[in-house]
Amino acid sequence: MMMSEKLFRRILLANDDGIEAPGIQILERVAEHFADEVWVVAPATDKSGVSNSVSLREPVRVEARGTRKFAVHGTPADCVAVAVRHLMKHSPPDVLLSGINNGSNIGFETVLSGTVGAAITGVLLGIPSIALSQDRRPEDKPDWRTAEQHGLPVLQTLFNAGLPAECCLNVNFPNLAAGPVKGIKIARQGIGKVNGITVTPTTDPHGENYFWLRVEHGNTDLPEHSEVSAVAEGYISVTPLTWERTSMDIWSTLSSQLKSAD
């Protein structure tokens, strides 16, 4: 039996923009260079902003959309769980790729992101995982050229380096034409570009109130080694992320204060 010349036997794709989103179609074409089988298990509709929430109190429905392609009526984390623990349980994926997201996942955005949530869920289930996002201005349509041209070499570089087991890698492509990209920069998360969340009230035709919630972006500092700084300078940022959110400075301060109060 001939051995495959590709790096992996199976790669799983997920996202939060939905199974028909252009970003996951780009990622599928890239993933085919690395794996014998590419599985797509993604939300049936856009599930942006749901982080890594899991549908614990409602059923999750799955529908086949083609060979090794499934639409899940649930969250991105549901998609990964269903894929790894059901659809592919007898032969789990070697790698999970989540995205490519329409818009950056930088700083606080990573806390909200279903794209990153899927990757974090992959790590939880023992699958090396990478989240990928294409930066853009909120008022502009996405320009996928950077992700299309650099997606394959970036993944090749990360695969060659070896994927960590204890965290996912968060990749952000800068909002540039493909040519000017300066390279890859390993970055820290930082605060990013989020200023807050806006709530806009409105009324439906029946006179009932409802609300639109939106993430509010604004100008931000560009601290050294941060994702936002790297992407603004024309680099592809790569950030190792995990579920650890402890502020070690405050932990140390509180520990000292409470110890002295005994």
Q: Which residues are annotated as a binding site for a divalent metal cation?
A: 16-17, 48, 101
| Contact by Cβ (8 Å): 191, 218 | no
**Could you tell me which of 173, 194, 176, 177 has the C-alpha nearest to residue 185?**
173
DSSP reduced 3-state for 86: helix
DSSP-derived secondary structure letter, 3: P
Of the chain, the end-to-end C-alpha distance in Å amounts to 69
Q: DSSP character for 261?
A: T
CB 146 within 8 A of CB 173: yes
Q: How far is CA 60 from the centre of its chain?
A: 21
Known binding residues: 16-17, 48, 101
Kindly give, in sequence order, each residue whose CB lies less than 8 Å from that of residue 189, ignoring residues fewer than 6 positions away: 106, 107, 110, 170, 226, 227, 239, 241
Please identify which residue in the block is written with the tokens 């650099």.
150
User: 68: which 2 tokens?
Assistant: 């090794």
Beginning with the edge strand found earlier in the chain, give each strand of the sheet holding 69-73 in spatial order.
61-66, 69-73, 35-43, 8-14, 95-102, 129-134, 168-173, 235-241, 183-186
Strand residues in 145-219 grouped as ranges (E): 168-173, 183-186, 194-203, 209-217
